[in-house]
Amino acid sequence: MIRVERAAKPAVIEQNQVAWTQALLNAVTKEDKTRAEKKYRHLEIKRALVSMFHGKCAYCESKILHVDYGHIEHFRPKSKLEFRSLAFEWRNLLLSCAICNGREHKGDRFPEAAEGGPLVNPCEDFPDAHFEFVFDFRARLATVVGTTARGKTTETCLGLNRQDLRAYRSRWVMQLCVLSRCAENDPDAAILLEEACRDDAEYAAFARALVAGHDCDGA
């Protein structure tokens, strides 16, 4: 997870947020609620989120769009009554992969402070203050380590070290680790490593940790 600066509010939200919110809060039947709620799926909103997050999941940093449509994620779940008024609030919307946002992981969960929350929000928090991005060269494992209560809760809730994700991510970070060894003497390797640190790169948090001088553990 990396820090992401929130883009300007899409015009469609600016123009319709009050009316959409009122219609949702006034909805009585399930059909009315569904009709009012789905306005957040507007294409302009989705495009703004895809651009802001560079097509990556806000949480796990995996590229989404080559395999899936991606979810418009409500950081504070719209399914909870106390957060229903935030269904169209721009600051509450993120782009997420289907797994991080699925029932097995975040779903409609929103742990409060007494439960180790709230979850780390890449647009409101500085993830580096809550996580370390550790690569064990011998084990060939790239692990997101929560360093605060909120970081640990976020890692667990979102499954940031789930088996399939960590296996895929570890193969990528292994290549970055090798690149980091070559970068001092190979200009092409240096360029590739620099590109791996950009906001639009998968698992940029790990690349930045390497560049910052956090040597591959056991290398």
Residue 47: Cβ within 10 Å count: 11
- Average pLDDT over every residue of 70-86: 95
Q: Could you tell me the pLDDT band of residue 214, with boundaries at 50, 70 and 90?
A: low
Domains of the chain listed by start with CATH number: 11-106 (3.40.1800), 127-211 (no CATH)
CA atoms within 13 A on the CB side of 60: 30
Task: Identify the three-state secondary structure at position 107.
Answer: coil
**What percent of the chain lies above the pLDDT cut of 90?**
89
Average pLDDT over residues 186-213: 93
Q: For residue 183, what pLDDT is reported?
A: 84
pLDDT attached to residue 171? 95
- Note the pLDDT of residue 210: 87
What average pLDDT does range 171-191 have in this prediction?
Answer: 90
Q: Residue 219: what pLDDT?
A: 46
Q: Residue 194 has which token pair?
A: 């620099």
Q: Which of 93, 95, 91 is nearest to 55 (CA)?
A: 95
Q: Give the model confidence (pLDDT) of 23-65 as tens digits.
A: 999 999 999 999 999 999 999 999 999 999 999 999 999 999 9
